[in-house]
């Protein structure tokens, strides 16, 4: 057997195996045990070589993938000092930044809304009280002393409306500005999405090669249903394609229907 046999693809290897099996049967039928043993040894050798060869390929591909990531990182991050960091840890930093930014924006927005609420409530209650007083005035039910009070109260209210509206305006403007996080996080997310799809295409290559090794070596991967059960318990997060999935509830109404079918 020459060394060229060692770099065959698995399909050719399977053909070789069949041929060897036929030879083996033939030798055994002819009581040629020494030659039969030789055939078995050759089959073993060939199988081992194929595994080693594929593990080699896998290692090389993995190495290339890692090298390529680092090269890409160097290009994308020109002038940055991230060279001692992997793309993946950089991506987690970026995602953490998204987390911080969205949290900050949500907090500031809610702060502003909470600052607006009492101003609006005050305007609403004071204006409805003044409207009642005004109606009394129109019905000429008001004494001169009461009118004098209303007069000053109106004056004060106009001033309050003015400054309240200014504060509301400022807060609304701040809320608009806070939405800038969408732009910043969007850019970061796009970068991370690009990285993930790069990693995926490299991984697909690795899986293909690893699959060949598994086929030859007879390894089995973890059963799918075990993995699914683990996923359910730890939670999956928001469903982004709920309408297209039959195992996912697309709305609160569907959840309610399901629960009522369970006797809720």
Partner 1 sequence: MDKNMKILIVDDFSTMRRIIKNLLRDLGFTNTQEADDGQTALPMLKNGDFDFLVTDWNMPGMTGIELLRQVRADERLGSLPVLMVTAEAKREQIVEAAQNGVNGYVVKPFTAQALKEKIEKIFERVG
Residues near partner 1 (CB under 8 A): 102-103, 106-107, 110, 114, 232-239, 242, 247-252, 255, 258-259, 262, 264
Q: Measured between alpha carbons, how far is 144 from 248 in angstroms, rounded to an integer? A: 69
Q: Measured between alpha carbons, how far is 46 from 52 in angstroms, rounded to an integer? A: 10
Specify the residue, 79 or 237, whose C-beta has the smaller distance to partner 1.
Answer: 237
Residue 87 CB, shortest distance to partner 1, in Å, is 24
Specify the residue, 144 or 235, whose C-beta has the smaller distance to partner 1.
Answer: 235
36, 28 contact by CB (below 8 A):
yes
Q: Which of 90, 95, 255 is nearest to 190 (CA)?
A: 95
Give CA separation, 72 vs 65, 66, 75, 142, in Å: 10, 10, 5, 81
Structure tokens at 42: 């050759």
Residue 120 CB, shortest distance to partner 1, in Å, is 13
Residue 124 CB, shortest distance to partner 1, in Å, is 15
Structure tokens at 114: 């909470």
Specify the residue, 149 or 231, whose C-beta has the smaller distance to partner 1.
Answer: 231
Specify the residue, 89 or 231, whose C-beta has the smaller distance to partner 1.
Answer: 231
Handedness of CA 245, 248, 250, 256 (dihedral sign): positive
Specify the residue, 84 or 236, whose C-beta has the smaller distance to partner 1.
Answer: 236
Handedness of CA 200, 69, 103, 108 (dihedral sign): negative
Specify the residue, 120 or 248, whose C-beta has the smaller distance to partner 1.
Answer: 248
Residue 221 CB, shortest distance to partner 1, in Å, is 23
Residue 244 CB, shortest distance to partner 1, in Å, is 13
Q: Measured between alpha carbons, how far is 153 from 159 in angstroms, rounded to an integer? A: 10
Residue 132 CB, shortest distance to partner 1, in Å, is 26
């Amino acid at each position: 057997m020459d060394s060229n046999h060692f770099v065959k693809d698995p399909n050719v290897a399977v053909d070789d195996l069949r041929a060897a099996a036929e030879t083996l049967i033939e030798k055994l039928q002819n009581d040629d045990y020494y030659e039969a043993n030789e055939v078995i040894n050759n089959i073993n050798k060939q199988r081992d070589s194929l595994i080693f060869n594929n593990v080699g390929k896998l290692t090389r591909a993995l190495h290339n993938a890692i090298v390529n990531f680092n090269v890409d990182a160097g290009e994308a991050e020109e002038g940055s000092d991230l060279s001692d960091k992997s793309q993946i840890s950089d991506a987690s930093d970026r995602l953490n930044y998204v987390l911080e930014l969205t949290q900050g924006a949500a907090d500031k927005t809610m702060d502003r809304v909470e600052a607006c609420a009492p101003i609006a409530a005050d305007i609403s209650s004071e204006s409805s009280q003044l409207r009642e007083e005004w109606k009394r005035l129109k019905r000429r039910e008001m004494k001169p002393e009461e009118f004098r009070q209303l007069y000053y109260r109106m004056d004060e209210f106009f001033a309050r409306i003015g400054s309240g509206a200014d504060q509301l305006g400022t807060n609304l403007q701040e809320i608009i500005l806070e939405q800038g996080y969408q732009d910043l996080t969007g850019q970061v997310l796009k970068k991370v999405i690009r990285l993930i799809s790069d990693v995926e295409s490299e991984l697909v290559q690795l899986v293909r090669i690893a699959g060949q090794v598994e086929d030859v070596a007879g390894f089995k991967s973890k059963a799918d249903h075990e993995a699914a059960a683990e996923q359910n318990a730890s939670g999956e997060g928001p469903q982004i394609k709920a309408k297209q999935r039959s195992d996912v509830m697309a709305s609160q109404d569907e959840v309610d229907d399901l629960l009522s079918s369970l006797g809720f």
